[in-house]
Each structure stands twice: as structure tokens, then as C-alpha cells.
Structure 1
Amino acid sequence: MASLDKPTVSYSQFACIGSGFSAIGLGATLKRWYGITDIRFFDRHADLGGTWHINTYPGCACDVPSILYSFSFAPNPKWTRVLASSAELWAYLRAVADDYDLPSKMTFGADVVRCEWLQASGRWRLHIRRLADGSLFQHESQFLFSGTGALVKPRHPDMPGIDSFRGPVFHAARWRSDVDLRGKRVALIGNGCTAAQIVPNIVDQTAHLTQFSRSKHWIIPPIDVPSPTTIQWLFKHVPGFMLLVRFIVFLLCENDLRGFYMSKAGAKYRTGSEARAVRYIRKTAPAKYHDLLIPDFEIGCKRRIFDPGYLQALHKPNISLSDNPIAQVLPDAIRTEDGTTTQADVIVLANGYATNQFMSGIEVVGRDGVTLEQHWSSFDGPEAYNSCALNEFPNFFMILGPNTATGHTSTVMAAENCINFALRLIKPILDGEATTVEVKPGAELQYSQQLQRDLSKTVWWGGCHSWYNKGGPDGTRWNAMTYPHSQAHFWYSCLFPTYGDWKYTPTPDATRRRFMRRTRKTAWWLGLVVSVVGITLTVRSRGLDWAGEYLPSTA
């Protein structure tokens, strides 16, 4: 391990942890808005893409229409399916990153272990470990952004004896392509979206696939179909057509928000949605599994699953579904609490991620030595003002921080809004009028408390156990994952920041700079008004023929 004594310290104006959608959106928007290219990205993985680089399991795809699950400034007319695969999403991200020359600013195999605010210099210092050799180096920046995402760390399996299993055991998020499933007895743990995508894509390879269901989920009819070449042509050649379709898809997705509120209208919407889902499950899945599949909680309490062919795959002769709790993992089998022993050669874990955690594995130290964990200990869980900023952490923003996930639409829109919000707030610093910006403690507290009150009026506070909520030892409940309002509401709050909620550290000549900027703006508008008035008066007095005096003669 290299020593931290006299390390090499590099610098960039902006630093970002991660290289997925959030990071690429930040780099592109900095260049689009301000022409700034002085940014460095640090990622522990071997390539860019974040979630869509890591997740390569069979059938991996997005569950939001790709026309919406993409940047507003980089529309892609070439999507081949309604729900894009992980490979297609990665290719899209790579293309956007290349367009803005971002890969050259990325350092891979770099694990950020600590970030600390240096009050004296007004900079963030990152301590980074090179995974190749374990050596450490430091990097400093004026602004620090986190683009680490919310679903990063696979959940550790809570199954006794798992370490005794002799065959391969791996999480779906770390899929092992070197493990050949052909002719193997495979045990798949989990029944969420990931498992639903994996089952139809591996069942035909296996000698037998046993799925151990840990909970139920609402499975609804599929929407994924190939994108016709005609539509792709229209997207590319008809101005405004793709934007119109994106807006329509946005409205259709936002319509589902009605079902999340605990109101009479919300209950009615959920009742109709549940009835349609039950009919679909009973029609598509084997009758023997209906009781194992149909939930006993309201739809929306967990994220819904667009059926990727999962229910039809349950008809295969070499698959079985069980909801018996696992009692113990044996060296070559799994034993459930009812005494049944299922032989297995491979165990695949699709049991989700550790949630309600942000910047996991990174020690973040803000002003006066306050850590991120210490800051959140004054609350009941992770939170952030407008989902991206914290008091005691100057010039620091989390993209897709606490409460930015949705149960119905695209998180890419939320990421863009977070980025735009932060870049608006730091504009006075970029203009030389201030050195730091930090949300006021009262504003953060009021925002977080109101958000939890709003969440308590949604179906996410219902009777199901989901990754959205985290229970405290005293019985309290905290939701650090979902946003209780529409994306239009979030967009508006990011478009017009409440600057009174923020504290800036002014530069010595801030007043002069502000005066000069306002003077130039006033002069510009005054000149425009004078020009318009002058032209108007001239036209009224001399008519439109006056311009002919100044045009060259055609004779």
C-alpha cells in the first residue's frame, strides 16, 4: 500500500465520482452551458457506463421507454426497441461521451475512498486508490459531484451455509460469463425485475431451473416491441416528431403517478390497475403458480414489472417456482424450511441491492470535519435539499441523490434536472462573485421533513416490504429513495432555485463585479429598446421605403 506522505496531487475545476448517465450528463452540460471542459471523472470500473456497464446478465434491459430514458439534449432516433437492452444503452452512453470528448477525462480502475473539504483553500481533496496496484493518489477540485447512483452495492445473501456451497455463487449484477449454465441445475434466488428478465433467457440452457421467490411483485402486460424502421426514419427526418413522441410518452408515464397517492382517486386507479394485472397473470402463468405470483398488497407499493416473457417461461417443463423460505445452503443443494432439498450446481443471486445508502464505501468529510454519516444521523436516514445538496458540504452536489427515484418514469430526467439545478446555483461562483455555495440548515431541514410528510401520504408507505423504505429501531420509517411528486414539479423546482435558501461566500470584489454585470445587462437592454423605438419612429414617419436609400442600386 502506498503512503499518503507527499503524494502527487492533481487538480481540475470539477471532479465527479462515477462515469454513468449522471457523470456524462454533467460533463456534457458543463460544455454546452458554460464551455467548461476542466473536469475529471473517477470510476472504480474498467469502462464508462455505470449501471449499464456493470449489468450484463442475460435479458438485462431498462424498464422505461428508451425514448424517455435518454438525454433531452441527445435524442437517439435509432433505438431498436421500446425498452432498450443494456448493450444498446451502453452504446448510447459511449456515443454521447465521445461527442463531448469525455472519455479522455476519465480515470478507470480508480476507487475513491475519501473526500474531504479543505476550508483554507476552498477545495475538495479526493483520496483515490488505484485498483491495479493498491497505490494511492490525491486529486483536488473546486466543485465535487457524486454520480455514484443509488443501486450500486449488491445485497449480501442472508442464507445460512452459503459459503459452504461448492459450485459457483454470484450476484446477477456481477454476472459471470465464464460460468456455462448448459446442462446445469441452477438455483435462482429472487423474484423481482432482474429475476424476471433472467428466467426466460436462461431456462432453455439449464437441465433444471429452480426459482426461490422471496416476495411477490405486480407483473403487468409487456410494452417492449421492436421499433419499426419507419418510426426510426420519422424520428430522424421529420423535425419535431421525436420530441412530440417523447412528450407523449412522458405524459403517459406521468399518468401512472395518480396511483401512488392514498386518496379516493388513487385507490380507484390502483383497483383498476390491479384487476388488469390479475387477469393478465391468470391468463399467462400456469394455474399452479397463481397463488405464488399474485400479490396481496396494493399495486405501486413496489416497482411494477413489465413482463419480459417471464410468465410464459414458467410453463417450461424444466422450471419450478417455490416460495418456501430457504433454511440452509448445503455444499450441493438448498434446503427449505419445509424440509425439501433441491440439488443445485450453480446459485444465482437476484436479491437486489443495498438501498437507502448513498456514496457507500466513500468517507465524505465536509466543513468542520463533519462526515456524511454524522450529518444524516440528525435525521432518520439519508436526505438532501432538492435531492442533491447538504448543509456543511460546500460546493458539493449529488446527482440522483436521496429521493430522486420514481416508480413510474425515467430517472435520467431527474439526473438532468439535478445537474441543471446545481449549475444554476454555482453560476455566481463561475462569474467570480463568490467562492462557495452551501444550502442553509433550516432550508434543508424544512425540505426533508416536508418530503417525508408527503411520502407518508403515498402507497410507498403501505403494507408491503420494499426497498423504498427503511425501518428504524424505534419503529420509525424513512424513505430516502422515491420522489412523491411529478417530474414536472421537480423540473420546475430545479428551473427556478430559491436563492434565499442558499448561502454564498462572496469574493472581495463581488459587489463591483455584480454592479458591472448588471450595468452591462442594463446597457444591453437599454440599447435594444432604443434601437427598437428608433426603428419604429422612423417607419412611422417615413414608411418602409426609407430602407431603399441604403440599399445598392440594381440599375
Structure 2
Amino acid sequence: MGSLPTDNNIDNERFNNPIHHRRHIRIVCIGAGASGLLFAYKLRRSFDDFSLTIYEKNKGIAGTWFENRYPGCACDYPAHNYTYTFEPKPDWPSVYASGPEVRQYFEDFAAKYHLANYCKTSHKVTRAQWDQRTGHWWVDACNLETKQTIKQECDILINATGVLNKPQWPAIPGLHDFQGKLVHSADWDESVDLKNKRIGLIGNGSSGQQILEAAQPIASHLTSFIRQGAWTFGPFGPSAQRDYSPSEIETFKTDPTALLSLRKASETRINSSFPVFLSGNQAQAKLRSHLTTNMKSKLKDPALESILIPSTGVGCRRPTPGINYLSALTAPNVTIAYGPIAKITHHGAISSSDPDLHHDLDVLVCATGFNSTYTPGFPILNADNHNLQDRWAPERGRPAAYFATAIPDYSNYLTFFGPGNPWASGSFLAMIEAQAEYMMKLIDRYQSENWLSFAPKVEAVDELMEYSTKILKKTVWAENCSSWYKQGLKCPAAGSELNNGDDEDATRQAAAESLTLWPGSGPHFIEALAELRAEDWDIAYKGNRFAWLGDGFSRTEVDPESDRAWYIRERDEGPFLSREKRRKVRTMKGERGKWGMAI
């Protein structure tokens, strides 16, 4: 981008201070869920001279765990690993935590590090506008209690709203004419009583399965409307759901080594899973055979097997834990209605697979997930007044981002879980830590140099998308299943021309071009974000690009507590200067001492 004309005030400030003089930076973050809270923690830990405001539309923090309160809501990843990597919780009561327990973890984290000081709850951001002349964002936020709008200026804008936060109602004729109780899993009405009710449940993803497990024992009857099968893993972790004994919890509290060993075992398991997602891989074939055998042993009905066991690879859709799902689904008080719903009536539903049968219902639950497009919920306007809502509208095809974190032409704007995130192949909280630390590297450069703006280059993102398509085409994610991983792609029906013979390659290519996933494993993503590739970024400066050199003095010279001869030493204990040696220091089990020694 180059430099703007010299701003004498900026240059004078630099020239009158030592190298890397820190300027005050103003940051606005949108969302106080897992990623927004982590961002605040990382910023507070490493930086001074900043102001941070986190706008959160809900009345409380914790994001999705504040919003999702449906019966049976739980985390389907082992609780000891559904924590920040540096913030273990030794006293989880069970292997898999309930929704309220996970919410409490994030609330406790925020309280421990005083993060609520940065949060404005019940504030919804309604607009953001970039001003290239000043190098600032203008952010409008509505106080949902007073209905007043706040206009705030900031240097850097962080979007931590995530993708899975806008409930997706199904497009079914007559849905909102239903005269019983209509409720969505992601916007649960806690006044709804399911006991002894005739319940209709649309959807068989993770939330649908959890609701079914919770509702089946108390319902008078439950009708499960299913459009496609789902691979049901059982627990994602190495053991089934159970409560920890008091002695186990005490061990985790008093013996950090035991807890660390458990956490590492679970993380190693997921970090070894990427081969499973490669089509034709032996690991995929082995797992598919195992799950098929396991599901058949529980279903014991060829008709149900043909409905519920997918024809596509394991992982094309997000696998579900379904710990007790299949036994609940086959209970005497459950009916399975397969295929699309033809219409909703005042008092029930009619499935297209049996149009003569009316399913009488008292409660209709839509466990139909979220609007998983990356389209922002409010206008985000760049220097040319181009709205990111338009660029990422579903009809425009696959949205593109740089390492799921930044967008070309949108300066000083960073996002968590943007397009290209490792949703299917990485550990959720470890991935946001990788993104947060990458953001900190950019913020550090911005604060200690005279940057005006930064954004990834268009050509860098174009080539990243080209690379991604080549890799993703080889994965099960590019097979013919309906999945929120595929941005805007309508999959051809099984048995159609595009699923046969020579056209299979065209089907996979189209799917790969629509996928919004990282083209690799979780550890692959972490290593990719480990270093800042400045050559991929457009950077504009305020004044002389070397003004950050300051007045000729180092910061060490002007700090009376610093050692002015810090580089004089008895041995070389500095970091290794090749990626591979640094990796070995970080990751070699039992070898850190050897690789950490001077050579």
C-alpha cells in the first residue's frame, strides 16, 4: 500500500521516543463468547496502553453456551479438553459436561481475569464503517435496554460472533401456522413442558440427538423427522459418559501430572484423526466398517439401517456422538418419519414419505441448527463502501478469508472462525487460541510501528483458496451429502447423473469449491498460523515507514531496570532459528532437554 503523507504529530512522537515506541490502541471486539473472552485475556496478558470494549448482544457472557438451553444440552467433547489449553479445570463432575456447566467455566474464567470490565452486555452492534483517511473504524452499537445508539471510534475491529449463532428455521409450508408450541433448539423457550406431550422433532444433528435422548423418556409420543442419516460415533472421547468419583476428582486437583496425561490423551486422539477424512484411506474404511457394525447391532432392523446409516463417508456431515441416541430412537414411543416434511398443519405434520398419515403433535421442536452462512448480521463497510454482507451473500458462492482470520480490502478487521476454519478436523478451543495469538502478532506490529492499516493481499487469498480446493477435493467432505460445511451448494440426489461414472469428479470439484473448511488437520492449522507472513499483507504507514526507529535510542537504554549487556552470556540459550528445530523443542516427547541444549 505504501505511505500516506507525513503526519507531523505522529512523526514527532516517534522521533522523540526510543525505537518501537508504543502508541495507545483502541480495540472493539464483537461477542463475549469463548473467542471474545480469550481475545481479551491474551490482549490483557501481553499488552499495555490499550483500551478494549467488547459488545455482547446477550444479557450475559459465554456466547453459544448462554444461548443454548434446550433439554439435554451438553458438550460432545470431553470436558477436560473443552477448556483453554492453559486453563484446566480439575473438578469437572463427569466426562462430558452439561451446557450450564460449560457456561459456568467461561463465567469463572472471565471473573478470574477481570474480563467483565471490558464487556458491555445487552449491546448489539448494528454497523461498522472504515475510514481510510484516519485509519479508524466507526462502530455503532445499540443498547438493547435503553434503545440508545453508541458510536465508537477504534483502531482495530475484532469479530468474535462466530457462525453458529443465528437460528435457522426450516422452510416448511405452514410452519408458523402451527397452533401448538413451536420452539427452536437455539432459541429455547424454557416455559415449554415436554412431559406427557406428543412431540415432533425436526433434525438429527447433535442438538436433535441430545433433545431426543432427553425428551423420549418423558414424552407420551415422539415423532422424529429425518431427512438423511448420520454417522453416530458414540462418545467422541475415549470413554463413555459417566460421573467422576470423588477420589478421581481429588487426584486431578492434587496431581497435575495425572490431569495433564488425561488431557493429552484426548487431544492426541483428535489430532490423529485427519487420515479418517481422506476418501479411500484405510483409516476411513476401517472406521466406516466399525461404525456400520455398531449401528446395525443397535438398530437390528434393515429398514431403519437403510435410513439411518449414511451412504457417504464418515465425516461428510459432522459426526454425532449420540451416546444413547439409537436406543432412544428405537424406543416404543418413537416414530421415525423419513424424508422431507410436506407441510405443517395447525395440529401436526405430514411427511412426504407418507402423505396419508397425519402426525398429531402438541409441541414441534426445530433442531435445524443455524444459518451457517458467513454473512455478517450487520453492515461492515470498507474504504470503498463495499458491504461485507454483499460480498459474502450466499448467492455469491464460497466466501474467502486469509487463514480464517482476515479479509482482503477490509483493513484492521480480524475475525475468529472465518471461512476456512478447521471445524471438522481440529480441537475447538485450541484453534481459537492459534487465531488469537496470530492476532496479537499483528497488533504488536501495529502498536510498535507506524502502521496505518493492514489487510491480506487479494492474490494471497486467491492462491490460498486454489490450494484449499485441491486438498479438499480428496476428502470425504467433498462427497455427496448435505452439510453446513458446503457454502450454498445443493448436492445432487443419490443416483443422479452427477453421482455416476465420469461425472463423480465434477461433483467432487463442485463440492470442494464450496467447502468452507481448512484443508488439513488441526495441528496443520496451528503450524500455519505460528508465524506472521508479512509478504501476504498490504500495509500502509503513517508518514515515514521507518519512523518507528525513533530518536536513536533503544528501549533498553532508557529502562533503568534493564541489563544493557543482556546479550553477553556463557552459552547460547537463544531460540533455534529454523522452523524444524523450533518444532522439535515444542513437540518432541521426552526430547525437550536434548533439543534445548546448545550445539
1:496 aligns with 2:513: no
Secondary structure of 1:273's counterpart equals helix
| 1:510 CA displacement | 5.0
Contact persistence 2:25–2:49 (CA under 8 A): no
Secondary structure of 2:37's counterpart equals helix
In the alignment, which of 349, 353, 360 is matched to residue 370 of structure 2?
Answer: 353
| 1:513 CA displacement | 2.8
Please give the TM-score of this superposition, normalised by the length of structure 1. 0.87
Alpha-carbon distance change, 512 to 342 in structure 1, aligned in 2, over 3 angstroms: closer
1:41 aligned partner: 54
In the alignment, which of 28, 38, 54 is matched to residue 41 of structure 2?
Answer: 28
1:77 aligns with 2:90: yes
| 1:21 CA displacement | 0.3
- Partner deviation per Cα, 1:133-169 (whole Å, 9 max, x = no partner): 5332212211110011111112121111112211111
2-structure distance, mates of 1:85, 1:436: 42
| 1:375 CA displacement | 4.2
Contact persistence 2:299–2:330 (CA under 8 A): yes
Contact persistence 1:356–1:381 (CA under 8 A): no
Contact persistence 1:142–1:395 (CA under 8 A): yes
Q: Percent identity?
A: 26
2:432 aligned partner: 415
Contact persistence 2:338–2:351 (CA under 8 A): no
| 1:197 CA displacement | 0.6
2:566 aligned partner: 528
Deviates more, 1:482-491 or 1:130-139: 130-139
In the alignment, which of 2, 11, 18 is matched to residue 31 of structure 2?
Answer: 18
- Partner deviation per Cα, 1:100-150 (whole Å, 9 max, x = no partner): 212232122222111111223221111122323533221221111001111
2-structure distance, mates of 1:340, 1:74: 53
| 1:526 CA displacement | 7.9
1:282 aligned partner: 296
2:151 aligned partner: 138
Size of the aligned set, in residue pairs, is 519
Secondary structure of 2:79's counterpart equals coil
1-structure distance, mates of 2:417, 2:423: 11
Secondary structure of 1:496's counterpart equals coil
Alpha-carbon distance change, 381 to 518 in structure 1, aligned in 2, over 3 angstroms: farther
In the alignment, which of 240, 250, 258 is matched to residue 275 of structure 2?
Answer: 258
1-structure distance, mates of 2:546, 2:265: 46
In the alignment, which of 378, 393, 402 is matched to residue 362 of structure 1?
Answer: 378
CA RMSD of aligned residues (A): 2.6
Aligned 1:398-413 pairs, distance under 5 A: 398-413=415-430
Secondary structure of 1:279's counterpart equals helix
1:342 aligned partner: 359
Deviates more, 1:343-352 or 1:243-252: 243-252
Contact persistence 2:374–2:392 (CA under 8 A): no
1:508 aligns with 2:543: yes
2-structure distance, mates of 1:451, 1:408: 14
Query: Larger relative CO (CA 8 A, sep 6+): 1 or 2?
Result: 2
1-structure distance, mates of 2:121, 2:81: 28
Secondary structure of 1:23's counterpart equals helix
2-structure distance, mates of 1:525, 1:505: 34
Aligned 1:101-116 pairs, distance under 5 A: 101-116=114-129
Deviates more, 1:73-82 or 1:389-398: 73-82
2:577 aligned partner: none
Alpha-carbon distance change, 379 to 423 in structure 1, aligned in 2, over 3 angstroms: farther
Alpha-carbon distance change, 257 to 326 in structure 1, aligned in 2, over 3 angstroms: same
1:445 aligned partner: 462
2:324 aligned partner: 309
- Partner deviation per Cα, 1:57-106 (whole Å, 9 max, x = no partner): 11111222222221112111122222221111100000111122122321
1-structure distance, mates of 2:471, 2:230: 24
2-structure distance, mates of 1:24, 1:384: 22
- Kindly provide the amino acid, as one letter, of the partner of residue 383 in structure 1: A
| 1:376 CA displacement | 4.5
- Kindly provide the amino acid, as one letter, of the partner of residue 108 in structure 1: T
1:550 aligned partner: none
Alpha-carbon distance change, 408 to 513 in structure 1, aligned in 2, over 3 angstroms: closer
2:519 aligned partner: 484
2-structure distance, mates of 1:233, 1:484: 41
2:310 aligned partner: 295
Deviates more, 1:250-259 or 1:478-487: 478-487
1:548 aligned partner: none
- Kindly provide the amino acid, as one letter, of the partner of residue 540 in structure 2: T
Secondary structure of 1:67's counterpart equals helix
2-structure distance, mates of 1:531, 1:278: 62
Deviates more, 1:432-441 or 1:41-50: 432-441
Secondary structure of 2:336's counterpart equals strand
2:205 aligned partner: 192
- Kindly provide the amino acid, as one letter, of the partner of residue 447 in structure 1: L
Secondary structure of 1:173's counterpart equals coil
In the alignment, which of 316, 333, 354 is matched to residue 318 of structure 1?
Answer: 333
- Kindly provide the amino acid, as one letter, of the partner of residue 224 in structure 1: Q
- Kindly provide the amino acid, as one letter, of the partner of residue 291 in structure 2: A
Please give the TM-score of this superposition, normalised by the length of structure 2. 0.81
- Partner deviation per Cα, 1:420-475 (whole Å, 9 max, x = no partner): 10110121221143232222222122122222322222110012121111345998
1-structure distance, mates of 2:529, 2:444: 14
Alpha-carbon distance change, 74 to 479 in structure 1, aligned in 2, over 3 angstroms: farther
Structure 1 unpaired stretches of 5+ = 1-10, 534-555
- Partner deviation per Cα, 1:227-269 (whole Å, 9 max, x = no partner): 344443333322444334323222111222111123x4x2x21
Structure 2 unpaired stretches of 5+ = 1-23, 491-505, 572-599
Contact persistence 2:397–2:488 (CA under 8 A): no
Secondary structure of 2:88's counterpart equals coil
1:213 aligns with 2:226: yes
Secondary structure of 2:529's counterpart equals helix
Contact persistence 1:27–1:37 (CA under 8 A): no
2:67 aligned partner: 54
1-structure distance, mates of 2:541, 2:549: 11
- Kindly provide the amino acid, as one letter, of the partner of residue 287 in structure 2: S
2-structure distance, mates of 1:82, 1:146: 31
Alpha-carbon distance change, 162 to 374 in structure 1, aligned in 2, over 3 angstroms: closer
Contact persistence 2:556–2:563 (CA under 8 A): yes
Secondary structure of 1:530's counterpart equals coil
Contact persistence 1:30–1:36 (CA under 8 A): no
Secondary structure of 1:466's counterpart equals coil
Secondary structure of 1:125's counterpart equals strand
Alpha-carbon distance change, 167 to 109 in structure 1, aligned in 2, over 3 angstroms: same
2-structure distance, mates of 1:344, 1:87: 29
2:444 aligned partner: 427
